[in-house]
Amino acid sequence: MGSSGKRQTLFGITYVVGAATCFATMDTMIRFIGPHFSVALVLWARYGLHAAIMTLWIALSGKRSFKSANPMFQIARGALLAFSSTMAFAALRRMPVAEFTAIVMLTPVVATLVARLWLKEPVSRLRWVLVVGGLVGAWGFHADDLQDGAAPRAATLQRWQRAAPSLAQIEFSGGLARSRNPLLQLDFGAYAKGVAIDAAFDALQRQGVAHALLNLGGNLATMGQPGGRPWPVGVRDPHGPGLLATLATHGREAVVTSGSYERWRRVDGERATHILDPQLGRPAPGLVSVTVVHPSAALADAAATALLVAGPGRWPVVAQRLGVQQVLVVDAHGRWQASDALAPRLQRAAG
């Protein structure tokens, strides 16, 4: 692609970002004024402004503005836009903006499908992977402020179950990664913080730092022993405001907890965690907290989430496969169980 093509692509990206910003602002305004005005009045105001702008445009550009290679297509497109706006405005009067936006995030999947089947546009497998974030959005977990709402349709979840996404379906070639499964999604939320901690410790050690304690979004890691004493680290009680247990770290070590008690929302009246079981297509049941202790923060971060998804019956097997030996799990009833390697190091918190 030449410099001119790259420039045009950058302009296109800028316009798309601008359009998305305008739509998000409009949705927020509709939510604000919805209780005070009817949908019909809001639609009249919107398209009345459109008509005024177009009238001015036509007056300046003349009859050539009416020329179209396919006028019926343009009329149909206008009708679809009006129908879409009517449904969107009606929805915004009945649900929070964040939840509305999360559902709308399924649009890239639909648009890509239409572009491939109707317009015959080429869509690579990698691009399919990049647009499937709508599943997480459908559950409403993309929003910063999680709102109560309804679960995704059963047909949506069944489609994901049949696709059976798996890391084994990722193909690596040079610096590229791709998958033949269009419903495979890569989400680094359960791994990136651990990688960042390891990188930070490596950088500190290169600078000659011998002792450090890092806390990155609740992921704790230590190295060294300041004053000859180990770092004391607490494990939060997922069922209360205090600590469940404490332990003293050994050298460079990460203590990472993955839990459903921090980020959750009510779905159809029931509590749903943001950690999804890929086999069920639903929030992971069973365990509410998993703590992993390991020299590698990246492995501890990934393993904690994987073990929480594995559940009460399978976590020991999955832990063995991942090569982690120090694990503490807590179930929905407050019962906790520690692996043989970690149990002697834990001190039960008072109270």
Residue ranges and CATH numbers for the domains of the chain are: 111-186 (no CATH), 188-348 (3.10.520.10)
Q: Which range, of 136-140, 270-274, 304-308, 316-320, averages the lowest pLDDT?
A: 136-140
Q: What percent of the chain has pLDDT over 90?
A: 24
**What is residue 259's predicted lDDT score, i.e. its pLDDT?**
79
How far is it, in rounded angstroms, from Cα 130 to Cα 243?
39
pLDDT at 197 over 70: yes
Residue 202 binned pLDDT confidence (cut-offs 50, 70, 90): very high
User: Residue 133 CB: number of other CB atoms within 10 A?
Assistant: 17
- pLDDT confidence tier of residue 79, bands split at 50, 70 and 90: confident
Q: Is residue 247 within 8 Å of residue 344, measured between CB atoms? A: no
pTM above 0.85, yes or no: no
Note the pLDDT of residue 82.
Answer: 75
- Give the three-state DSSP class for 233: strand
Q: How confident is the model at residue 126 (pLDDT cuts 50, 70, 90)?
A: very low
Is 50 exceeded by the pLDDT of residue 149? yes
Give the E-state strand segments of the chain in sequence order. 170-173, 176-179, 212-216, 219-223, 232-236, 243-248, 253-259, 264-267, 270-273, 276-277, 282-283, 287-294, 326-331, 336-338, 347-348
- Helix, strand, coil shares of the chain, percent, nearest 5, are 50, 20, 30
What is the reported pLDDT for 47? 66
Q: Best-predicted range by mean pLDDT among 49-53, 133-137, 150-154, 288-292?
A: 288-292
Quote the CA–CA distance of 305 and 322 in Å, as a whole number. Answer: 12
Comparing 160 with 338, the larger pLDDT belongs to 338
Q: What percent of the chain has pLDDT over 70?
A: 59
Judged by average pLDDT, the poorest of 77-86, 284-293, 315-324 is 77-86
Instruction: Give the mean pLDDT of the chain.
Output: 75
> Residues 256, 300: contact at Cβ < 8 Å?
yes
